Amino acid sequence: MDIDLRGRTAFVSGSTKGIGHAIAAGLARAGAATIVNGRAEDSVTGALDALRTRLPEADLRGVVADVATAEGAEAVRAEAPDVDILVNNLGIFSARPVLEIDDEEWRRYFEVNVLSGVRLARLYLPGMTERGWGRVQFIASDSAVVTPAEMVHYGVSKTALLAVSRGYAKAVAGTGVTVNTVLAGPTHTAGVEDFVAEMVGEDLPWDEAQRRFMTEHRPNSLLQRLIEPEEIASMVVYLSSPHASATTGGAVRVDGGYVDAILP
């Protein structure tokens, strides 16, 4: 499938590493002028350097801003007033017994995982609808549907994104703008490597640790391995393209068959 995003501008929140970094690379490779985002100047600069090494012809720039705050979201819009493709990727996760999660931590998860995307979508959707074209995606998780006992606060925040995405899709119905959620399954990132070590033990070789983690903690996976970030990015790039013009208001799974359901 030929995906050509030349002439489009894309912003990916939290894109200095992991899934967000892979998404930024995929969009840039498809021709979009792609904006990388992170909270620190050095991390954004490092991410841009890595992308430019891989994609020397790509149109890339960075915006340093904490989009988990209203001020950060406004700073992004000031730097990039017109965005055609918005990927709300920023998210945090950690394991914690649910009875030990205090109010402050619940609020932090909603500010970062939910309200960051809510604010950015609210800022950019009016311009998209005016222009008659746009793509908004929220990166959720299998945890939105299968709540993990070890991180309920994370699961709940991702569940919220399903309703947010569906609601925004209804708000822009018939405008040429689509809004979707991507349900990412257990994915191989540096942060997940640390999480796996925490769950199964730090002294195991990586292949054995991954196997034990999938067997003991994610046994529903039909893939029976962690997903690579580029596999998530491939779906995001497709949903960002004209080929996906009839897909909106959806929760599209790239979960390795983790969610035990016959409906998307």
Domains identified in the chain, total number: 2
Please check whether residues 217 and 150 belong to one and the same domain.
no
Q: What pLDDT shows up at residue 71?
A: 98
Q: Name the band, by pLDDT with cuts 50, 70 and 90, for residue 201.
A: confident
Q: Quick check: is 154 catalytic?
A: yes
In a domain, 60, yes or no: yes
How far from the centroid of its chain's Cα atoms is residue 14's Cα?
8
List the domain range (segments joined by +) for residue 250: 9-185+230-254
Q: Name the band, by pLDDT with cuts 50, 70 and 90, for residue 202.
A: confident
Please check whether residues 109 and 210 belong to one and the same domain.
no
Please check whether residues 219 and 174 belong to one and the same domain.
no
The string of pLDDT tens digits covering residues 175-200 is 999 999 999 999 999 989 999 999 99
In a domain, 158, yes or no: yes
**CA–CA distances in Å: residue 81 to residues 84, 127, 230:** 10, 9, 28
The string of pLDDT tens digits covering residues 234-256 is 999 999 999 999 999 999 999 99
In a domain, 110, yes or no: yes
**CA–CA distances in Å: residue 69 to residues 122, 158, 164, 258:** 14, 18, 18, 32
Region 219-226: mean pLDDT is 95
Q: Name the band, by pLDDT with cuts 50, 70 and 90, for residue 150.
A: very high
Region 83-92: mean pLDDT is 98
DSSP string, 87-148: EE---------GGG--HHHHHHHIIIIIIHHHHHHHHHHHHHHHHT-EEEEEEEEGGGTS--
Q: What pLDDT shows up at residue 165?
A: 98
Please check whether residues 74 and 145 belong to one and the same domain.
yes
Region 11-36: mean pLDDT is 98
In a domain, 33, yes or no: yes
Please check whether residues 80 and 154 belong to one and the same domain.
yes
pTM: 0.96
In a domain, 262, yes or no: no
Please check whether residues 89 and 144 belong to one and the same domain.
yes
Residue 159 belongs to domain with CATH number:
3.40.50.720
Asked if pLDDT for residue 228 goes beyond 90, the answer is yes
Please check whether residues 196 and 76 belong to one and the same domain.
no
Q: What pLDDT shows up at residue 1?
A: 86
Asked if pLDDT for residue 24 goes beyond 90, the answer is yes
CA distance 242 to 136: 13
Q: What pLDDT shows up at residue 264?
A: 76
Region 4-29: mean pLDDT is 98
Please check whether residues 203 and 241 belong to one and the same domain.
no
In a domain, 116, yes or no: yes
* Residue in 109, 154, 168, 258 annotated catalytic: 154
Please check whether residues 241 and 127 belong to one and the same domain.
yes
The string of pLDDT tens digits covering residues 30-71 is 999 999 999 999 999 999 999 999 999 999 999 999 999 999
Please check whether residues 172 and 246 belong to one and the same domain.
yes
Please check whether residues 181 and 192 belong to one and the same domain.
no
Please check whether residues 174 and 212 belong to one and the same domain.
no
